[in-house]
Amino acid sequence: HGGAAAAALAQHVRTVQIPNHRVGTVIGKQGSTVAQIERMSRVSITIEKTPVAPAHGSAPPGELARNLHIDGPDPTATEAAARLIFELLADRIDGRLLAKGIVQPVSKPPPPSRGPPGYF
């Protein structure tokens, strides 16, 4: 017995490591960023309090990491949350906007124009 009901209760957990010094970036002001990632991806995120030695490549050499657990209804949800976290940590999306539910690339100032005024 169980079948579909048991399957509905099954959760998918993905654990990733983030550099210890970037935990605040993921959490955001008063937890706003992590709450928004949870809402957008339909997941629950838990960040362990104790820093650990990083797995290969998850933090700079000599730096500690923190385990972050993403608990979602399916692999698509946990993967979407992990992708948002990695984009945020790579400074590819704006954390202040993400905290408001807006996924937007970090805006870089336009390169200075070369040539005389009016020339593009």
- One-letter amino acid of 58: S
Looking at the predicted structure, is the pLDDT value of residue 101 above 50?
A: yes
Percent of the chain at pLDDT > 90 equals 57
Higher per-residue confidence, 96 vs 59: 96
pLDDT (average), residues 83-102: 90
Looking at the predicted structure, is the pLDDT value of residue 116 above 90?
A: no
Give me the pLDDT at residue 11, please.
86
Q: What is the pLDDT of residues 9-66, one digit of tens each?
A: 568 999 999 999 999 999 999 999 999 999 999 999 999 999 999 887 777 778 899 9
Percent of the chain at pLDDT > 70 equals 80
Lowest mean pLDDT among 3-12, 71-80, 102-111: 3-12
DSSP notation for 11-53: -EEEEEEEEGGGHHHHH-GGGHHHHHHHHHHT-EEEE-SS-BP
For 4, the enclosing helix (H) or strand (E) is helix 3-9
DSSP notation for 51-117: -BPPPTTSS-TT--EEEEEEEESSHHHHHHHHHHHHHHHTT-B-HHHHTTT---BPP-PPPPP-SST
Q: Residue 89 corresponds to which tokens in the numbers above?
A: 């940590």
CA 80 vs. chain centroid, Å, equals 9
pLDDT (average), residues 94-101: 88
